[in-house]
Chain A
Amino acid sequence: MITTTHYLMLSLVLFTLGVIGMAVRRNFITVLMCVELILNAANINLIAFSRQLGDLTGQVFAVFVITIAAAEAAIGLGIIVALVRLKQTTNLDQVNVMEG
């Protein structure tokens, strides 16, 4: 029997991988991929609890999460194209115009 806890643990692993990637990798494109990993982990949680509770709300919210993820990917990749045109790099450590 596969319980909700199994799915929670898998989601935790994927989320942690995404966070580690966002902290360690300096390539903007890889960081965006890590965001997609994190959103996928969130979707697994939503659907696992939707199954446990017998409530469709989790699946509807997963649809919204997928939509927002697609919008985020389009915007992020647009930013990459603009960034490469401006600074000829996708390395985040070299993008410190605002001295953050």
Chain B
Amino acid sequence: MTWFVVHFAQIVFYCLAACAVAGGVGVIAFRSPVRAALSLLATFLAVAGLFVLMEAEFLAAVQILVYAGGVMVLFLFVIMLVKARTMPEESQYLGRLAPAAVCLGVLLAVLVGVGVWAAAHGAPADPAALRQVQGVPLGNTEAVGWSLYRDYLLPFEVVSIVLLVAMIGAIVMGRKETGKEGGA
């Protein structure tokens, strides 16, 4: 029982990681898009749990609201709309990807090596710093909001423009063609 308590975080980590990886395998293994989308949902929820484990509670909430709520509904709605149930899956051009796969493998190995080196050699920081606003311990949401609206205000506004443009673009592309006379 004490073993369970001592290793609780590790048990939770490995369970969530297994869920995330199983969901990821499901996304690329299922033929049916609906099953792939539901596997993706499992991955999203497991990743949200990992965010909680990493003491990023605000991002866990955003992950569930935006991904599991918004993006997943969008995917399922489009799958339903275009009736893309199952289709032949033999790729005709897979052989062409071999050089790209080799380059990607080398690049990935270098990046992971650098990342693991940085993770192993950096001094672990005080996790309390992630929930402080100017030295006052408040909470993760307050701290992220403070950083977002003070240090990153301009990128924040630019992202809102990007969202607006994406919304208009999606509406324009999804609209029915009405011929040359224009106007919807």
| Chain A interface (Cβ < 8 Å from any Cβ of B) | 1-8, 10, 12-21, 23-27, 29-30, 32-34, 36-37, 40, 43-45, 47-57, 59-60, 62-64, 66-75, 77-82, 84-85, 89-91, 93
Which B residue sits closest to A72, measured CB to CB? B166
- Set of chain B residues within 8 Å of A53, measured between Cβ atoms: 122, 125
Contact at B129–A54, with CB atoms within 8 Å? Answer: yes
Contact between chains at B25 and A17 (CB < 8 Å): yes
DSSP class of A's interface residues: helix, strand, loop or mixed? helix
Distance from B117 Cβ to chain A, minimum over Cβ atoms (Å) = 10
Please report the C-alpha to C-alpha distance between residue A66 and residue B174 in the assembled complex, in whole angstroms.
Answer: 22
Binding site for A on B (CB under 8 A): 9-10, 13, 17, 20-21, 24-25, 27-28, 33, 36-37, 40, 43-44, 47, 50-51, 53-56, 58-59, 62-63, 66-67, 70-71, 74-75, 78-79, 81-82, 84, 87-94, 97, 101, 104, 108, 112, 115-116, 118-120, 122, 124-127, 129-130, 140, 143-144, 147-148, 151-152, 155, 159, 162-163, 166-167, 169-174, 176-177
> Residue of A at shortest CB range from B170?
A78
Which residue of B has the minimal Cβ distance to A13? B21
Tell me if B50 and A7 are in contact (CB < 8 A): yes
Q: Which residues of B contact A84 (CB under 8 A)?
A: 82, 84
A81 and B21 form a contact (CB under 8 A): no
Chain A's nearest CB lies how many Å from the CB of B45? 11
Please indicate the chain B residues that have their CB under 8 angstroms from the CB of A4 in the complex. Answer: 119, 122
Is the pair B104, A70 in contact by a Cβ cutoff of 8 Å? no
Chain B residues within 8 Å of A36, by CB: 40, 67, 71
Contacts beyond the supplied A8-B115, A48-B54, A51-B55: 5 A-B pairs with Cβ under 8 Å: A18-B24, A27-B84, A60-B147, A67-B162, A74-B170
